[in-house]
Amino acid sequence: MLHISKDKIKINEDLKSFKSYQFTDIKKRFFKLNHFIVALLIIILIMMFLPWTQFVRGNGTITTLRPDQRPQTIQSPIAGRVEQWFVQEGDFVNKGDTIVYISEIRDAFFDPLLLERTDIQVKAQEMSYQSFQEKVTALNFQIEALNEERDLKLEQAENRLIQANLMVESDSIRLEAAQTDVRIAQRQLTRFENLESEGLKALSDLETKQVQYQRNLAEVISQENRLLASRNQVLNARIELSRLRAEYQDKISKAESDRFSTLSSQFNAESQLANLENRRSNIQVRSNLNYITAPQSGFINRAIQRGVGETFMEGAQIVSIMPSNVDLAVEMFVEPIDLPLVHVGESVRIIFDGWPFIFFSGWPNLSYGTFGGEIVAVEQFISENGKYRVLIAPETGEVWPEPLRAGTGARTFALLNNVPVWYELWRQINGFPQDYYGPEQRAKEQPRDMNPDLQ
């Protein structure tokens, strides 16, 4: 130990009999470790060629598929004051059940007999409207009578004008005959004067012819007077005809003016009547709005207006209600880069909050506690959060848990292409996106026994 002697002590002892030495046998340990590593590498190598399902991850909440099944607030169409509640939070109400009774706060509707007084106004306006109608009818009869009387008077005046024209024609003929007699009498007188100067006719015959000639001249003057009188009658007949036309035109115009004035008053009364009837209908409908009823069957979630005597304006929210019969769906949001990979009809695995699960994203068939869904709608415009909204309904034959409620959180995995594990690792290491995989391509790669359309 002090290195005094250069001689070495040689001890021939079999160390393999000691357990501690056996435990430190490096060759044996290396042999087992090598076998384990080789086996592990073989297993990993085999796993590299196992199929892996690519997916698009998303987060969302449970909603309803139809808009009328989503939670809603019941609003008051009129301003009012809460007088009496008929429900409490958590109660189930059927469609049409009364929720709360409100009273009016506008002074225009304070009168308890407002509807009855409005009915009286409507009836009075109806009578006014009917009186105008009857006056218009009477004026129409008056105008018809004036038209008939005018036609008869004008026909009578035209007949007088015709008679006067005929009298003028007759007097003209008589005047022409008298003038002819005068010419004949003048010729006869001239012959008798010649004969009397020759002594062939007596003086008395000559005087007779002179008297006859004078008479014929007088007859001509008389016929001229008659002709002038007849022509004067023609003028009088024409003046009378014009006077009758002007007179009856004035009467008819006045009657029509009265009729148009009455029609204007009638239309005004009709307009006022329509306004009163509209007001009466509004008052009648408004009186029914004092009772706020349930628009559909559901549960009262929360009373927004509280207490009794609280006032509110039109459109104020009264209570919120959740419909009882709903078709649940998941509202998922995906990144814009993943939108081309999401199609209607794609299968989706869903994890709901509150349900235990064992999930293998690449092997959905080995997962436990997940539920199947199917994409039914993809939003065409980006949402406010910078993502696209996708609606997922239960897959055919899949039953979601009954206690699920709207608003529950959910994580979704849209299943995409099936690739080997080594390819997925290579893609993840290089940061490549998932393979673009459309519905048409998936239909081509389905087995023939799984796709009857290809058979």
> pLDDT per residue over 379-428, tens digit each?
888 888 888 888 888 888 788 887 777 778 888 877 666 667 777 777 66
User: E strands of 355-402, at which residues?
Assistant: 371-378, 388-394
Residue with tokens 């005087």: 207
Q: Percent of the chain, pLDDT > 90?
A: 2
> Would you state the structure tokens that stand for residue 295, as one six-digit string?
């628009």
pLDDT at 358 over 80: no
- Closest among 296, 335, 331, 339 to 410, alpha carbons compared: 331
CA distance 260 to 139: 10
Would you state the pLDDT for residue 453? 35
Q: From edge to edge, which strands make up the β-sheet containing 98-104?
A: 291-293, 98-104, 80-85, 311-312
Name the strand (E) or helix (H) holding 99: strand 98-104
**Encoding tokens for residue 220?**
């001509």
Compute the average pLDDT of residues 106-122: 83
Say which range, 1-10, 105-114, 294-303, has the weakest mean pLDDT.
1-10
Identify the band that residue 448 occupies on the pLDDT scale cut at 50, 70 and 90.
Answer: very low
In the prediction, which pLDDT does 446 show?
45
3-state secondary structure of 373: strand
d(CA 394, CA 330): 9
Amino acid code (one letter) for 204:
S
CA distance 70 to 90: 16
Share of the chain above pLDDT 70, in %: 80
CA 16 vs CA 13, 181, 191: distances in Å = 9, 194, 207
User: What does the DSSP 8-state code read for residue 393?
Assistant: E
Tell me the pLDDT band of 451, cut-offs 50, 70 and 90: very low
Question: What helix, strand, coil percent values describe the chain, rounded to 5?
Answer: 50, 20, 25
> Whole-number mean pLDDT of the chain?
79
SS3 360: coil
d(CA 272, CA 278): 10
pTM, two decimals, is: 0.53
According to the model, what pLDDT value does residue 432 have? 60
- Predicted confidence at residue 24, as pLDDT, reads 60
State the average pLDDT over residues 226-233. Answer: 87
Map tokens 């409490």 to a residue. Answer: 88
Say what the pLDDT of residue 361 is.
53
More confident position, 234 or 454: 234
